[in-house]
């Protein structure tokens, strides 16, 4: 398929051929005006001009070829019996080489035109002649033919280059805008995904934990040992079930409000009430459990940002839920305290070797286990700049959970506002020293 540029070159070449023939037919020639005799017939001159005009077919594709064939052919025709067609072709040869040629060819052509014009001017001054006006016209014509085309072509070339650069800049800006739009969409999708992940974690660590406690404690009420237990013990379990159900319903309603855009995107918990609920849930299933929650830790969580406090509490909730699901008979220990420069959460529970056995009282583990609890705890802890570890103890009979958060991070989060971003912890040497407060007295009335 012929390109538009090629069609334009064909039209230009045809126009030059017609112009050359028309001007040649007029019979006027430069050599005749200079009174220069030439033994070459005019038909040879016409042939030279036709070849030079035909070479303009490659003006855009091969400008160097046009400069050579058209330039030399028209220059030779000027000193032979020819018409003004040679002048137009010479103009086109120089203009094409500068405009469409490489920068090297354009510079070479410009230098050559200046050199030829200067040479003709010097010769006009040095060679004696009788008709000064004619020689002056020749020098002037040479200057017009050889100097105006490169100047004009350079101007057009610069304008084309500027337009190309502007188009490239506009195209780049358009691509940049499109990429920024795609990036904004990706960020929005990532924000939605992160929001869903947070809601899923809150649903798992909060609502699922409460419902798991309800299921386990309800199953415990069906055992023979609970039937023979004191009335106060059974009442304590029933009260724990009621409290867990109400708490699960409250969190579920809050989640529904969040999804309806009727509440803030984050569920903020009260550290004091949340830790008391954790203690009650543990003691309902393990009356002799060792539960230690220091006032210093609760006060620090109360002063921290809601996001940071929620992270610690959610990890503690999931830890208690796992104890209720998987702990075997024996002593359970839970501790949340400030130790040195860290807020430490430690839980130790006996491992149930019969877990999954059909003789075990209560629901099967698969009914209450989603498989994301440990991953959720580890992710939450690491998001707040802490460390998390959960594994069997060295004796292989106990399960241990340890989570640590730098005090400096929780203290710094108080100045982060509601942005949800936890700042980098300050230098420990500049952070104020936090002394662990006395342990909060525990209410043992629920032990039965």
User: Which 3-state string (H, E, C) describes the chain?
Assistant: CCCHHHHHHHHHHHHHHHHHHHHHHCCCCHHHHCCCCCCCCHHHHHHHHHHHHHHHHHCCCCHHHHHHHHHHHHHHHHCCCCCCHHHHHHHHHHHHHHHHCCHHHHHHHHHHHHHHHHHHHHHHHHCCCCCHHHHHHHHHHHHHHHHHHHHHHHHHHHHHHHHHHHHHHHHHHHHHHHHHHHHHHHHHHHHHHHHHHHHHHHHHHHHHHHHHHHHHHHHHHCCHHHHCCCHHHHHHHHHHHHHHHHHHHHHHHHHHHHHCCCCCCCCCCCHHHHHHHHHHHHHHHCCCCEEEEEHHHHHHHHHCCHHHHHHHHHHHHHHHHHHHHHECCCCCEEEEEEECCEEEEEEEEEECCCCCCCCCCCCCHHHHCCCCHHHHHHHHHHHCCCEEEEEECCCCCEEEEEEEEEHHHHHHHHHCCCCCCCCCCCCCCCCCCCCCCCECCCCHHHHC
Sites in the chain below the pLDDT cut of 70: 1-2, 27-40, 81-83, 127-138, 201-202, 204-206, 209, 258-267, 352-372, 413-448
pLDDT of 130: 63
pLDDT of 156: 92
d(CA 88, CA 20): 9
pLDDT of 152: 92
pLDDT of 134: 57
d(CA 219, CA 242): 14
pLDDT of 171: 92
Q: Which two tokens stand for residue 115?
A: 């050199």
pLDDT of 441: 33
Q: Which two tokens stand for residue 132?
A: 């000064």
Q: What are the pLDDT digits (tens) for 201-248?
A: 667 666 776 777 777 778 777 777 777 778 777 777 787 788 778 777
Instruction: Find residue 191's DSSP bridge partners.
Output: none
Q: What are the pLDDT digits (tens) for 267-287?
A: 577 888 888 888 887 887 788
Sheet holding 398-406, edge to edge: 290-293, 333-339, 342-350, 398-406, 387-392
d(CA 58, CA 8): 10
């Amino acid at each position: 398929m012929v390109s538009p540029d090629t069609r334009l070159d064909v039209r230009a070449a045809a126009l030059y051929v017609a112009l050359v023939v028309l001007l040649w037919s007029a019979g006027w020639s430069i050599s005749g005006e200079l009174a220069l005799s030439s033994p070459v017939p005019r038909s040879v001159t016409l042939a030279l001009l036709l070849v030079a005009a035909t070479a303009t077919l490659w003006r855009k594709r091969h400008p160097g070829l046009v400069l050579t064939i058209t330039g030399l052919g028209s220059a030779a025709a000027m000193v032979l019996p020819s018409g003004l067609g040679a002048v137009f072709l010479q103009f086109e040869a120089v203009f094409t080489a500068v405009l469409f040629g490489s920068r090297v060819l354009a510079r070479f052509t410009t230098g050559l035109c200046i050199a030829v014009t200067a040479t003709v001017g010097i010769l006009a001054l040095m060679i004696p002649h009788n008709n000064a006006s004619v020689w002056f016209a020749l020098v002037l014509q040479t200057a017009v033919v050889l100097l105006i085309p490169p100047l004009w072509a350079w101007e057009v070339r610069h304008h084309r280059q500027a337009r190309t650069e502007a188009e490239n800049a506009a195209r780049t800006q358009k691509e940049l805008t499109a990429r920024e739009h795609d990036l904004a969409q990706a960020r929005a999708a990532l924000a939605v995904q992160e929001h869903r992940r947070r809601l899923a974690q809150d649903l798992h660590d909060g609502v699922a934990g409460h419902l798991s406690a309800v299921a386990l404690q309800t199953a415990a009420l069906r055992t023979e040992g609970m039937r023979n237990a004191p009335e106060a013990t059974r009442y304590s379990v029933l009260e724990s079930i009621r409290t867990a159900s109400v708490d699960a319903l409250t969190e579920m309603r809050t989640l529904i409000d969040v999804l309806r855009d009727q509440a803030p995107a984050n569920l903020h918990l009260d550290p004091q009430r949340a830790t008391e609920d954790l203690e009650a849930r543990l003691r309902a299933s393990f009356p002799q459990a060792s539960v230690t929650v220091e006032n210093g830790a609760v006060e620090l969580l109360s002063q921290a940002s809601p996001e940071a406090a929620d992270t610690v509490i959610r990890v503690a909730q999931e830890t208690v839920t796992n104890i209720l699901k998987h702990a075997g008979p024996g002593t359970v220990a839970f501790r949340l305290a400030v130790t040195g420069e860290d807020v430490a959460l430690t839980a130790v529970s006996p491992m149930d070797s019969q877990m999954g056995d059909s003789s075990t009282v209560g629901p099967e583990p698969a009914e209450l286990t989603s498989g994301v609890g440990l991953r959720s705890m580890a992710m939450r802890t690491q998001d707040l700049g802490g460390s998390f570890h959960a594994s069997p103890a060295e004796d292989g009979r106990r399960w241990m959970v340890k989570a640590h958060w730098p005090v400096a991070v929780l203290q710094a989060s108080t100045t982060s506002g509601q942005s949800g971003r936890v700042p980098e912890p300050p230098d420990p040497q500049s952070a104020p020293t936090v002394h662990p407060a006395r342990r909060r007295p525990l209410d043992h009335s629920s032990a039965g």
